[in-house]
Chains A and B, each alone.
Chain A
Amino acid sequence: MKKCIACGMPMTSRSEFAMGDTSKDYCRHCMRPDGSMQSFAEKLTSMTEFIVRTQGLDASVAERSAKAMLRELPAWEHYFDHGS
């Protein structure tokens, strides 16, 4: 099973891939309106909002957690290369 490189979501059906294109490595939630993949800053914002919307956590806790989650994903590894 393919997992989105930008958010980790399993992509099981065609509709979950960006633009319904199963050759893409990222999902429809990590896609910009033009089909390209979101930037790190965009993903960090959307992931933070996702945590707040689903659990109501404090925004700073949500952002810290979102950063820690992105760190584990192939698309963003290089943002953390220098141990920040």
Chain B
Amino acid sequence: MNKVSGKRQLQKTATREHILNTALAVYAEHGFSASTNVIAQEARLAHGTVFVHFPTREDMLQRTLERFASELGDKLHELSETEDDLKNFLYTHIDILTKYEHLYKNIITELSSLPPAATTSLIAVQSIASHHFGNVIANCAGRYAVKPIPLHMLFNIWMALLHYYLLNSELFAPGRSVLNSRRDELVNSYMELIRN
């Protein structure tokens, strides 16, 4: 690659990155019905520029979900190698979801109206999270025992708790991040429930 095309490639990557970050913010604030036009306006780019990087609304949606999924997946993967306390793992999980809280809440509330690929992404990210969750529980064996409940139920009970608080965030933490304001209570109560 020569110098000029190398520079152009860098700019292209930076623009794509800027569009994705803007889309994440717009979807978090307005939900997934937001058009690519709105995203272009927010990003201060011509609609045509956005179109070059993300030809369809589905494409844009899918790439933003993948961004969230890979950040969550990579962080939990890292932890599952070394972490031997489930509590720290749960805190990390909550903290990443907190970073994407509005987006995540919109994903779970709007899922049935989103393209099927969105469901696939969500299923993939949950299976990865649950798998690492299981690894950390195995790592914990030397420190404490967890009740003999199948992995999918241990994970689903944790997710059910988080989703209940997210769906009712206005009742638990009006105008604030519900996951952040309730994190200690959520993590500690869950740990009490599953420890043997």
Listed in ascending order, the chain A residues whose CB lies under 8 Å from chain B are: 9-10, 12-13, 50-57, 65, 68-69
Contacts and interface: CB of A to CB of B under 8 A. Distances in A.
B123 A55 contact: yes
Contact of B152 (A9, A10, A54, A68): A54
B74 A10 contact: yes
A13 B78 CA distance: 10
A56 B150 contact: yes
Contacts of A9: 77
B120 A55 contact: no
A50 B152 CA distance: 10
Nearest to A62: B123
19 contacts: A9-B77, A10-B74, A12-B77, A12-B81, A50-B131, A51-B127, A52-B152, A54-B127, A54-B130, A54-B152, A55-B127, A55-B130, A55-B152, A56-B153, A65-B124, A68-B117, A68-B120, A69-B120, A69-B124
Chain B CB count within 10 A is highest, among A50, A65, A69, for A65
Contacts of B134: 54
A80 to B, nearest CB: 13
A51 B120 CA distance: 11
B174 interface: no
Contacts, number: 45
Interface in B106-136: 116-117, 119-120, 123-124, 126-127, 130-131, 134
Interface string B57-98: 000000000000000011001100100000000000000000
Q: Which 6 A-B pairs have the closest CB atoms?
A: A56-B152, A54-B130, A68-B120, A54-B127, A65-B123, A51-B127
A69 to B, nearest CB: 6
Contact of A54 (B77, B119, B151): B151
A55 B155 contact: yes
Interface in B155-177: 155-156
Interface of B: 73-74, 77-78, 81, 116-117, 119-120, 123-124, 126-127, 130-131, 134, 150-153, 155-156
Interface of A, secondary structure class, is helix
A13 B81 CA distance: 9
Contacts of A52: 152
Contacts of A55: 123, 126-127, 130, 152, 155-156
B130 to A, nearest CB: 4
A50 B127 contact: yes
A10 B73 contact: yes
